[in-house]
Amino acid sequence: MQFHDPKNMSISVIIEAAELLEHFQWKTKEEVKIYVEENKEEIQEEIADIALYLFELADNLEIDLLNAMKKKLEKNSKKYPVEKAKGKHTKYNKL
């Protein structure tokens, strides 16, 4: 296994996320819907790039990414219970 610098891997995640954002920047909801239909493959590739970097970064740091995601979802469900948080943009400590 080749170890990559976590800092560089993190930078790559951000760069790829910015490339994904470019597909949606300054578009209205309606424009996004049409754009996605016409450019789904390109968007899919950007999402895949992000996922690949995340999985490689997690692997290099010996983090089980799927388990970490599961634990984070469980934590969020306690911080943001549906009955309190649904439809709100309030931070958990102000619900």
This prediction's pTM: 0.81
Q: What angle do CA 39, 17, 67 make, to 5 degrees?
A: 110
Report d(CA 24, CA 56) in Å as an integer: 26
Spatial separation of the C-alpha atoms in residues 94 and 36, rounded to whole Å: 35
Answer whether residue 3 shows pLDDT above 80: no
CATH match for 1-63 among 1.10.486.10, 3.40.718.10, 1.10.1760.20, 1.10.287.1080: 1.10.287.1080
Hey, where are the domains in the chain? 1-63, 64-95
pLDDT at residue 94 is higher than 90: no
pLDDT tens, 10-52?
999 999 999 999 999 999 999 999 999 999 999 999 999 999 9
d(CA 56, CA 65): 10
Q: Which residues contact 88 (CB under 8 A, 6 or more apart)?
A: 95
